[in-house]
């Protein structure tokens, strides 16, 4: 179906566009101010004591929100492993200058050294067994065996998480590091094995043991991502001249956003609010409580800008065509775009190795529906079999299915003819946005389940749908403005991309 048949966003008047962006900006600014206004109350009412802030003014007078375990664990990881990032960059600088063929050995060598210095031998054995098992299974031709192996390792990861003896032996920090690394390694093992089984005979030379070890033990993306498919890794440009200015720019971008988050967490206790519904209830009204959900999403986005951005910077420097950095959630208004552009690497993995294996372009709607359901079943199991992850996965699935029906309807000849005859182009665009907003609202709130858990997700969802018609109409109007702004920003982004292309 041609995208040109979609409503033309360029028909909106400047005054109308000004209203949309004015509402968008005003809601964000006021919502942020109201969250800021709760800072002292949250510090006084929190269920646990926050640590002291930075020692210099004005942060020395504030407590710092350390409620986000992922962010704190990442900070601990960098504090322990930063020398190995430097070592990786130095080793690759030398290898790519003189000895291109040793690049994968350099990848694996730095990773083994980093893990060997910092991890207990039991952790090393677990990681070695996982990585080795995928190479062994790749020697065969059974994709079913690859998925059975993956199911076994996912089960193993869940059992390890409940093993008190091992957790006490290695400590909480190493426990988290190993669990996360094993989870990412399952995807890398699948990507290598399944890609090899689907490769042409003349391409099998790219699937040797050294290449696999370099891929499976690529240190900059080992623990904090993003997932890079084996096809991308195999397509790396070993002889390409390194772009040090781009590399330092990428690392600096991650460092700056990390500093921005750390500064903000002295004044905005949004991570704690995601864990304690009582603090969200303190906001003036249900209408402004929705802004807490928005900023939970934005801080979640910034975390991945930092972690993925660091891995992407190193990958590009090493000649690997890495996925793009996450797209800001403020520019995403269809949930299918959230999957495509927030975590591009994970989307590629799910689409290529699960969805596309189960159906094709010409498959029936039932087949596509089933493939989507199985894809989200894997997402649920891989993220951990928790109730809030199950709710998030089901809502994701339902929102994507509803979005598919909506786009099928709006692209149909009957709908196009009706809007042309009765509404005209401008009102057709507005109707399109109003209808799509009804998909945007539950899709946006579904993310809160994944970010903050079931309690805060249930609370904000009830606030959206069970707080009266007036509240819902106000929410719809703001969401409609958000949707229109995102559409306009997407148009400008597409225009810039076309200009670069041509």
What share of the chain in percent tops pLDDT 90?
70
Report the pLDDT averaged over residues 76-87: 96
**Residue 423: what pLDDT?**
84
The torsion region of residue 119 among left (phi > 0), alpha (psi -120 to 50) and beta comes to beta
**Residue 491: what pLDDT?**
60
**Residue 187: what pLDDT?**
96
**Confidence check: pLDDT of 55 > 80:** yes
**Confidence check: pLDDT of 499 > 70:** no
pLDDT band for position 176 (cuts 50, 70, 90): very high
**Confidence check: pLDDT of 319 > 90:** yes
**Residue 35: what pLDDT?**
95
Report the pLDDT averaged over residues 113-118: 96
pTM for the whole thing? 0.92
- The whole-angstrom distance between residue 318's C-alpha and the CA centroid of its chain comes to 23
pLDDT band for position 448 (cuts 50, 70, 90): very high
- CA-CA distance, 110 to 84, in Å (whole number)? 7
β-bridge partners, 80: none
- CA-CA distance, 308 to 221, in Å (whole number)? 8
- CA-CA distance, 441 to 476, in Å (whole number)? 8
**Residue 493: what pLDDT?**
53
CA torsion angle for 178, 184, 186, 189 (degrees, to 10)?
-120
Per-residue model confidence as pLDDT tens digits over 383-403: 988 899 999 999 989 999 999
Q: Which two tokens stand for residue 3?
A: 């995208």
**Residue 501: what pLDDT?**
33
- CA-CA distance, 49 to 356, in Å (whole number)? 49
**Residue 1: what pLDDT?**
35
- Tell me the catalytic residues: 383
Supply the DSSP symbol for 63: B
**Rg for the chain (alpha carbons), in Å?**
24
- CA-CA distance, 180 to 261, in Å (whole number)? 22
pLDDT band for position 502 (cuts 50, 70, 90): very low
What share of the chain in percent tops pLDDT 70?
96
Cα 131 to Cα 53, 123, 148, 344: the distances in Å are 40, 12, 15, 23
**Residue 162: what pLDDT?**
83
**Residue 6: what pLDDT?**
52
Report the pLDDT averaged over residues 267-271: 95
Return the ∠ at Cα 261 (arms to 306 and 263), rounded to 5°: 145
- CA-CA distance, 236 to 108, in Å (whole number)? 16
β-bridge partners, 52: 63
**Confidence check: pLDDT of 23 > 60:** yes
Q: Which two tokens stand for residue 190?
A: 């699948």
Q: Which two tokens stand for residue 385?
A: 């079999």
Q: Which two tokens stand for residue 151?
A: 């199911």
pLDDT band for position 496 (cuts 50, 70, 90): very low
Q: Which two tokens stand for residue 214?
A: 């370099």
- CA-CA distance, 351 to 185, in Å (whole number)? 18
Report the pLDDT averaged over residues 97-101: 82
pLDDT band for position 368 (cuts 50, 70, 90): confident
Cβ-proximal residues to 342 (8 Å cutoff; 6+ apart), any chain: 301, 304, 326, 327, 329, 332
Q: Which residue has the higher pLDDT, 491 or 241?
A: 241
Provide the 3-class DSSP secondary structure of residue 111. Answer: helix
**Confidence check: pLDDT of 45 > 60:** yes
**Residue 425: what pLDDT?**
83
Closest CA to 100 of 249, 287, 238: 238
**Confidence check: pLDDT of 321 > 90:** yes
Q: Which pairs with CB-CB distance under 8 Å and at least 24 residues apart come from 184-187? A: 184/221, 184/222, 184/223, 184/225, 184/227, 185/127, 185/130, 185/131, 185/216, 185/222, 186/130, 186/150, 186/153, 186/154, 186/157, 186/382, 187/227, 187/346, 187/349, 187/382
Cα 54 to Cα 130, 257, 339: the distances in Å are 40, 17, 36
């Amino acid at each position: 179906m041609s995208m040109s048949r979609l409503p033309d966003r360029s028909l909106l008047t400047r005054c109308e566009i000004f209203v949309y962006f004015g509402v968008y900006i005003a809601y964000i600014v006021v919502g942020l101010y109201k969250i800021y206004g709760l800072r002292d109350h949250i510090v006084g009412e929190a269920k646990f004591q926050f640590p002291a802030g930075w020692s210099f003014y004005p942060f020395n007078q504030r407590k710092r929100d350390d409620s986000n375990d992922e962010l704190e664990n990442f900070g601990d990881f960098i504090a322990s492993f930063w020398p190995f990032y430097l070592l990786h960059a130095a080793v690759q600088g030398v290898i790519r200058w003189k000895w291109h063929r040793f690049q994968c050995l350099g990848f694996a060598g730095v990773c083994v050294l980093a893990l060997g210095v910092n991890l207990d031998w039991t952790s090393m054995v677990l990681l070695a067994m996982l990585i080795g098992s995928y190479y062994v299974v790749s020697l065969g031709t059974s994709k079913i065996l690859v998925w059975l192996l993956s199911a076994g390792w996912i089960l193993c990861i869940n059992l390890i998480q409940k093993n008190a003896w091992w957790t006490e032996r290695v400590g909480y920090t190493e426990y988290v590091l190993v669990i996360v690394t094993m989870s990412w390694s399952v995807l890398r093992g699948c990507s290598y094995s399944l890609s090899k089984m689907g490769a042409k005979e003349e391409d099998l030379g790219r699937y040797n043991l050294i290449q696999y070890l370099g891929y499976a033990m690529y240190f900059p993306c080992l623990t904090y991502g993003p997932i890079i498919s084996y096809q991308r890794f195999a397509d790396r440009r070993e002889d390409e001249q390194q772009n040090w200015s781009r590399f330092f720019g990428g690392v600096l971008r991650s460092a700056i956003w990390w500093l921005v988050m750390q500064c903000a967490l002295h004044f905005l206790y949004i991570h704690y609010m995601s864990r304690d519904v009582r603090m969200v209830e303190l906001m003036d009204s249900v209408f402004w409580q929705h802004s807490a959900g928005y900023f939970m999403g934005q801080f979640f986005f910034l975390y991945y800008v930092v972690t993925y951005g660091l891995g992407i910077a190193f990958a590009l420097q090493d000649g690997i065509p890495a996925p793009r950095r996450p797209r800001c959630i403020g520019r995403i208004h269809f949930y299918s775009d959230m999957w495509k552009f927030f975590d591009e690497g994970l989307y590629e993995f799910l689409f290529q190795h699960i969805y596309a294996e189960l159906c094709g372009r010409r498959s029936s709607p039932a087949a596509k529906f089933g493939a989507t359901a199985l894809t989200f079943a894997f997402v649920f199991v891989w993220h951990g079999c928790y109730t809030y992850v199950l709710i998030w996965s089901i809502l994701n699935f339902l929102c994507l299915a509803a979005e598919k029906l909506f786009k099928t309807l709006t692209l149909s000849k009957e709908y196009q003819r009706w809007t042309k005859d009765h509404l005209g182009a401008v009102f057709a665009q507005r109707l399109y946005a109003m209808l799509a907003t009804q998909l945007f609202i539950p899709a946006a709130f579904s993310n809160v389940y994944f970010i903050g858990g079931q309690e805060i997700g249930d609370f904000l969802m009830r606030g959206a749908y069970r707080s009266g018609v007036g509240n819902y109409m106000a929410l719809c109007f703001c969401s409609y403005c958000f949707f229109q702004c995102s559409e306009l920003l997407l148009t400008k982004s597409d225009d810039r991309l076309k200009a670069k292309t041509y």
